[in-house]
Chain A
Amino acid sequence: MAYDYEKYIRPGKLPHIWCPGCGHGIVMKGLIRAIDSCGLDKNNTALVSGIGCASRLPGYLDFCTLHTAHGRAAAFATGVKMAKPEMNVIVMGGDGDGTAIGGNHFIHACRRNIDMTYVIMNNLIYGMTGGQFSPCTPTGDKASTTPYGNPDPTFDISKLAIGAGATFVARTTAFHATQIDKLIAEGIKHKGMAIIEVLDDCPTTYGRRNKFRSVIDMMKRLKDIAVPVAAAGKMTAEQLEGKVLTGVLYKEDKPEYCEQYAKVIAKASGAK
């Protein structure tokens, strides 16, 4: 039997709008497998997204879904989780949505350590809005708004999340398809804020401008730059130049926000 993805897809929604070779579809499959393996109830799972290519994802899936304002997915998701702490909340978004326009919401959701899973698809650019550079566009690379090369240094989303206080941070790429569902599932099971950064490809607005002649070139790039955390310990600094670590980068147990807030409610209502 083939894997039954249709069980979680809204009827008549496929084919999706993403360009040929866009990794968002691979991430969507990974998310479906992760949710299926965790056995989450469709009616008790909320998928929240902002604006952008990646944020189209919840629209295809048959869960409680919320498509919100640009960058505000984490804020809306915090509201959903606080109103219904028993609900599984998963945020899907891109690098522009999550770290530029929604950067503030992103770091504060991490800081609170609220129990949700944030899958951030880092395709190095604003795709849907016209190929503008994002905080993750590599220095020197071209975008529609940086035709002479991007002068800005870049964000490392995983390090940003660790620094902001997220208690589960993992990274993988769209090429490593089997790792996507394992890490998302681990993030769903983690009690607290789980950030899963998926390095993605954007052949249309990033690849064409930056000498990636085809989808395959972009996928090979993802394959080449990824180094598993375990293997990185045996490599020299020179060998790690230009590489990114994949796997679970950080994990700790800290008090979860909804539980802490329940204590405040109990205290305020006079319980001893």
Chain B
Amino acid sequence: MSGTRIEVIEKYCKGCSICVEFCPKNVLEMDGFLAKVVRLQDCIKCMQCELRCPDFAIKVYVD
């Protein structure tokens, strides 16, 4: 989706995979022990990944 950007701060991500599991649109996937944004175009900006990330590792930038 245009204008939306999801940043995964690798230094903070502990690989719990909560964001991957509870994203309603499967935007994220695990890449080893880190979350990775793979389908940004499907993002509906529901913010569930950012809200549920316990490690402050995900930021969803919405214009």
**A1 partner, pick from B52, B53, B56, B62, beta carbons under 8 A:** B62
Interface residue count for B (Cβ, 8 Å)? 23
Residue pair B14, A20 in contact (C-beta under 8 Å): yes
Residue pair A25, B56 in contact (C-beta under 8 Å): yes
Binds B, one of A10-18, A137-145, A249-257: A10-18
- Chain A CB within 10 Å — which of B15, B21, B51 has the most? B51
Interface string of A193-216 (1 = CB under 8 A from B): 000000000010000000000111
Determine if A148 is an interface residue (Cβ-Cβ < 8 Å). Answer: no
For B18, list chain A residues within 8 Å (CB).
21, 215-216, 219
The minimal Cβ–Cβ distance linking B2 to chain A, given in whole angstroms, is 16
For A2, list chain B residues within 8 Å (CB).
7, 50, 59-62
For A14, list chain B residues within 8 Å (CB).
12, 55-56
Cα distance A180–B34 in the bound complex, in angstroms: 26
Residue pair A216, B17 in contact (C-beta under 8 Å): yes
Interface string of B1-24 (1 = CB under 8 A from A): 000000100011011111001100
Residue pair B16, A215 in contact (C-beta under 8 Å): yes
Interface residue count for A (Cβ, 8 Å)? 26
Residue pair B54, A23 in contact (C-beta under 8 Å): yes
For B11, list chain A residues within 8 Å (CB).
15
The minimal Cβ–Cβ distance linking B54 to chain A, given in whole angstroms, is 3
Cα distance A178–B53 in the bound complex, in angstroms: 12
Question: Given contacts A216-B21, A219-B21, are A29 and B51 in contact (CB under 8 A)?
Answer: yes
For A3, list chain B residues within 8 Å (CB).
50, 59
The minimal Cβ–Cβ distance linking B24 to chain A, given in whole angstroms, is 13
For B14, list chain A residues within 8 Å (CB).
15, 19-21
For A105, list chain B residues within 8 Å (CB).
none
For B17, list chain A residues within 8 Å (CB).
21, 214-216
- Chain A CB within 10 Å — which of B12, B18, B51, B54 has the most? B54
| CB-CB nearest in chain B for A5 | B56
Cα distance A9–B56 in the bound complex, in angstroms: 11
Residue pair A25, B55 in contact (C-beta under 8 Å): yes
Determine if A91 is an interface residue (Cβ-Cβ < 8 Å). Answer: no
Interface string of A217-244 (1 = CB under 8 A from B): 0010000000000000000000000000
Question: Given contacts A1-B62, A2-B60, A216-B21, are A18 and B54 in contact (CB under 8 A)?
Answer: yes
Determine if A177 is an interface residue (Cβ-Cβ < 8 Å). Answer: yes
Cα distance A9–B12 in the bound complex, in angstroms: 14
For A175, list chain B residues within 8 Å (CB).
52
The minimal Cβ–Cβ distance linking A8 to chain B, given in whole angstroms, is 11
For A46, list chain B residues within 8 Å (CB).
none
For B12, list chain A residues within 8 Å (CB).
14-15
Cα distance A21–B57 in the bound complex, in angstroms: 12
Cα distance A175–B51 in the bound complex, in angstroms: 9
5 A-B residue pairs with Cβ-Cβ distance under 8 Å, sorted by A, are A2-B62, A15-B12, A26-B52, A216-B17, A216-B21
Q: Give B contacts to A, CB under 8 Å.
A: 7, 11-12, 14-18, 21-22, 48, 50-57, 59-62
* Nearest 7 CB-CB pairings of A with B: A25-B54, A21-B16, A20-B14, A2-B59, A177-B51, A20-B16, A15-B12
